[in-house]
Structure 1
Amino acid sequence: MDPSTRIPTATSVVESIVVEAPLAHVWHLVKLEDFSKFWSKLNKSEFVKGTSPDTDIIKWSFKDGTVLEVKQEEHSTINHYITYSVITAEPNLSYSSSLSTIRLFPITSGQHENHTFVQWSGFFSSDADAGVIEDGKYKRREALADLAAAAVKSAS
């Protein structure tokens, strides 16, 4: 695309949901290698063979034929978040890089007490266009809805 015709856009997206299940039920599902257990767009999620014990690389095979390898960059069982980056993609992505974080927070009072607030953010390289950001937004919304359904099912 001609740089003079590019529409300026934010290079990040943040989506969230309140899951009607306790944090322990939701957190148990948020493992990169287990995303296919709840995310309806995935056929398979699995550890990549031959990776070092210090590096978690997971292959996500989507139903549309897209295959991503994601690397877990951070994981905190104390603060309930994971951060991952996309390291390879087939077909190739139209942007250079992305970094995503999923954070869980227990809701401790009010009408949603004993539920979980889940936030999924994505930060993209500056060469990502508006279509990439919109796609990230809707994929996160769909995945969060799938996560909520799976967590509610596991809590009952």
Structure 2
Amino acid sequence: MASNTAIPTSTSVVESAVIKAPLSHVWHHIKLQNFSDFWSALKQSEFTKSQEETDVVKWTFNDGTELEVKQEEHSTLNHYITYSVITAKPELTYTSVVSTIRCYSVTSGDLEGSTFVEWTGNFSSDADAGVIQDAKFKRRDALADLAKAAAKK
């Protein structure tokens, strides 16, 4: 049997946070073209194409990485957005990823008036453990940045 040095890993990541700001303050930031307004890892986020069915936004990270992300779904009623990466410079080491951000109002308890935010990523089976860990920590950092931005509103 051939030796495989790859580390078996899940191909999904889920990060979440309770943000001490009302849902309206948090949801206001969850537009692909506005991510650079709160996410400190992004230098710029801008529309590249607006098609009849969907929008494509280019994210330019501080390290020079560029991603074109396509909005797959968006619900202002249920407060979620789903997007996929369609191009990347440099090229990704995996085939695909689809991510969803969902926001829920916290309606009771000590954190009433806050917002629960969940950010998932489902990667193709060729994503390795390093990719999943990187996605985990990027989401954690972005959620912390989102909390700061939402508190300012």
| Shorter-chain TM-score range | over 0.9
TM-aligned CA deviation for residue 3 of structure 1: 7.4
Q: How does 1:1-156 map to 2 (within 5 A)?
A: 4-49=4-49, 51-154=50-153
User: 2-side partners of 1:120 and 1:139: how far apart?
Assistant: 11
SS of alignment partner, residue 47 of structure 1 = strand
Cα deviation code 1:85-125 (max 9, x no counterpart): 00000000000000000000000000000000000000000
User: 2-side partners of 1:54 and 1:9: how far apart?
Assistant: 34
TM-aligned CA deviation for residue 55 of structure 1: 2.0
TM-aligned CA deviation for residue 53 of structure 1: 2.8
* Structure 1 runs of 4+ with >2 Å offset: none
User: 2-side partners of 1:24 and 1:44: how far apart?
Assistant: 23
SS of alignment partner, residue 35 of structure 1 = helix
Structure 1: gaps (5+ residues): none
Structure 2: gaps (5+ residues): none
CA shift in 2, pair 1:3/1:93, >3 Å: farther
Matched residue count: 152
TM-score, structure 2 as length reference: 0.97
TM-score, structure 1 as length reference: 0.95
SS of alignment partner, residue 45 of structure 1 = strand
SS of alignment partner, residue 126 of structure 2 = coil
- Determine what percentage of the aligned residue pairs are the same residue: 66
CA shift in 2, pair 1:33/1:3, >3 Å: farther
Q: Which AA in structure 1 matches 2:38?
A: F
Please report the RMSD computed on the Cα atoms of aligned residues, expressed in angstroms. Answer: 1.2
